[in-house]
Structure 1
Amino acid sequence: MAGVSLLALLDDIAAILDDVALMSKVAAKKTAGVLGDDLALNAQQVSGVSADRELPVVWAVAKGSFKNKCILVPGALLISAFIPWAITPLLMFGGLFLCYEGFEKVYHSYKHRNTKAEIDPEKLAEAVADLQAFEKKKIAGAIRTDFVLSAEIIAITLGVVAQSSFATQVFTLSAIAILMTIGVYGLVAAIVKLDDFGLFLTRREGVSVGVRFGHWLGAKLVNAAPYLMRGLTVIGTIAMFMVGGGILTHGLHLVSEVINHIAALVEGLVVVGPVLAFITPSLLNTLFGLMAGAVALMAMNMLQRVKN
């Protein structure tokens, strides 16, 4: 009797694991776009620190990401079970926060570009000297951004497993949370150390074909690294608007319908129709996110003025 019960238990476990594997594949496909944005955002978030502190900063953000998911996974399960209507408003709040942060970066970048001559050298020296505070600010900003993106990944995954058993939901959400965090921050670590790897290749000794190819490749990587990081900064900021705007338009059904209607209209164009239909929703979501970020920043500035 005990043997039969054990076999039945093992069969149930095997069935759950099969469901988890299947659901994880589906969820991974659906969250691939968000993961790409997550990668770009976090790579540019941790840029700017000294070379010997890059990996410790990435590790600190990765730990923060794990903590985020330790909050988000149980929270998502509880919200889904008791107040499922709250998922969309919470996601929209997070999307608006992403748009706000993105527009704030653009605004401050433009403002500082136009006031370069007014920078106080003493204040600049103090800012550069306080590297520890700079690191903490970078880490805190990256963890905040990760929280919103992780929330969307968890929400998408929850939608995939919504009709599954509770055990399947728990294991699938946990598997996605762990695998995505390791994957994203493993790639972020590789990106930020790309120039160091290139430098290592250029310093190898020898005259063999492999060593000479390594010298050539290393020089290319070292030269390309600054442009890559600069590009990721731009892509990461655009991703804030695209992801945040996408969350907002998804919650605002009328806006979402208008975007889908425009995409359907351009799809009928000769030759370029399918391509335009594919990129139009992302472009319109980005534009909507940019406008939402501008409104959010103006509202915050007005509130600060009222308080003062």
Structure 2
Amino acid sequence: MATGLLALLDDVAALVKASAASLDDVPTQVAKSTGKVSGVVIDDTAVTPKYVVGLDPSREVSIIYQIAKKSLINKVLILTPVALLLGFFAPWIITPILMLGGAYLCFEGYEKVHSMFSSHGDAHGDSEDELKVITPEELEKTRIKGAVQTDFILSSEIVAITYGTVSDQPLLTQIAVMFFVAIFITVAVYGFVALLVKADDLGVYLARENRPSAIRKIGFGLIRFMPRFLTILGYVGTAAMLWVGAEIISHGIPVLHHGLEAIEHALADVPALAWAAKVVASALGGLVIGAIIEKIVTLVRKMRK
């Protein structure tokens, strides 16, 4: 009996040591994973502010909080557990699911670009839905819904890349890294977005008459600069949708993936130019993919009617 108990305690001690050794590697894996998803994180940061622009300034922080909360719930309670389960039972299905998400990003990005260049006076553009008047509360809900849908796709990519980084690690390390990355990135992205959209309020605060002249100049500079900056960031966010969507799709189609790699290798002597060329090629490819999907969606809608 005593011998059996000692053997059991030895096994427990060995398991604890193995777990501790596994957890010691978590910070390294977190840093590695965060670096790999940095491109998608930048895209997520660029996309989000456009959903807040034009709404009641007093509601901006609340709206960002609601988006962030749903983003965190999606990452922690849905995407991470699903990625772990699929990675264990059906790893082959992760890529097709991501490709569908990439197609959605291309479609949404194409619609944004199309709306920028389409004529507002088009005789076919005034549908009953477009003429419908909605309340600020309904507009806010619509914006939040759109932001959460886009964030879900980007979050899926973040979770998938993170899983791919730690897939060869012990299960305990996988779980710890994926949950930590999900929480850290959500807080970082939406914290920074909140700072961006409230920067103009900070400018108003600094520009008050009782402030020193230098501080007031900074305040007025922020007030003038932020609307333009957010507009530019909106364009960047749209381009990012096309870029990331096309790159996600290319990972599942070897010909496209090798084509992007060939562009990068051809300009390898100038890393910045190689990166820019790959991004532009991906964005243009995403625009084409989005246009094709839009035609298919329009055709299906006509057939349903």
TM-score (norm 2): 0.90
Q: Amino acid of the residue matched to residue 294 of structure 1?
A: A
Match of 2:281 in 1: 284
Report deviation, 1:65: 0.2
Superposition map of 1:195-274 within 5 A:
195-203=200-208, 205-206=210-211, 211-267=212-268, 273-274=270-271
Contact 2:19 2:172 in 1 (8 A): no
Checking the alignment, whether the CA contact within 8 Å between 1:100 and 1:292 is kept in structure 2 is yes
CA apart distance, 1:105: 1.8
Secondary structure of 2:53's partner?
Answer: coil
- What is aligned with 1:35? 41
In structure 2, distance between residues paired with 1:144 and 1:75? 17
Aligned with 1:98 (options 80, 105, 130): 105
Gap change, CA 1:99 and 1:125, over 3 Å in 2: closer
Matches within 5 A, 1:131-210: 131-203=136-208, 205-206=210-211
Rounded to whole Å, the distance in 2 between the matches of 1:188 and 1:274 is 29
Q: Do the aligned partners of 2:98 and 2:248 also contact (CA within 8 Å) in 1?
A: yes
User: CA, structure 1 residues 10+205, in 2 after alignment: closer, same or farther (shift >3 Å)?
Assistant: farther
**Matched letter for residue 221 of structure 1:** L
CA deviations 1:227-251 (Å, max 9, x no partner) are 0110111000000000001111121
Q: Does 1:67 align with 2:64?
A: no
Q: How far apart, CA to CA, are the structure 1 residues paired with 2:140 and 2:88?
A: 39
1:294 to 284, 291, 294: 291
Q: SS of the residue aligned with 2:25?
A: helix
CA distance in structure 2 between the partners assigned to 1:274 and 1:29 by the alignment:
17
Helix, strand or coil: the match of 2:55? coil
Q: Deviations over 1:210-263 (max 9, x none)?
A: x33221111100000110110111000000000001111121111111222233
**Deviation for aligned residue 1:156:** 0.6
CA distance in 1, matches of 2:271, 2:78: 40
CA shift for structure 1 position 179 = 0.3
Partners in 2 of 1:180 and 1:284 — Cα distance?
27
| Worse overlay, 66-75 or 86-95 | 66-75
Task: Please tell me whether residue 20 in structure 1 is matched to residue 26 in structure 2.
Answer: yes
Residues 3, 105 of structure 1: alpha-carbon distance in 2 compared, 3 angstrom cutoff: same
Per the TM alignment, residue 97 of structure 1 is displaced from its structure 2 partner at its CA by 0.2
Cα gap change, 1:204/1:307 in structure 2, threshold over 3 Å: closer, same or farther? Answer: same
Which residue identity lines up with residue 299 of structure 2 in the other structure? M
Structure 2: distance between partners of 1:108 and 1:182: 31
Q: Where has structure 1 moved over 6 Å in runs of 4 or more?
A: 1-7
Alpha carbons 2:267, 2:273 under 8 Å: kept: yes
RMSD of the alignment, in Å?
2.4
CA, structure 1 residues 142+112, in 2 after alignment: closer, same or farther (shift >3 Å)? Answer: farther
Q: Show structure 2 runs of 5+ residues with no match.
A: 1-5
1:55, distance to aligned residue in structure 2 (A):
0.6
CA contact (8 A) 1:46 1:142 kept: no
Q: What percent identity do the matched residue pairs reach? A: 35
Q: Which amino acid aligns with 1:237?
A: T
Q: Residues of 2 paired with 1:283 and 1:305: CA distance? A: 33
Q: TM-score with structure 1 length normalisation? A: 0.89
CA positional deviation for 1:43 = 1.7
For 1:28-71, what per-residue CA distance to the aligned partner results, in whole angstroms no more than 9, with x for missing partners? 11111110001001122222211001011101101110121121
**Unaligned segments of structure 1, at least 5 residues:** none
Preserved contact between residue 242 and residue 285 of structure 1 (Cα < 8 Å):
yes
Structure 2 residue 61 is matched with structure 1 residue 55: yes
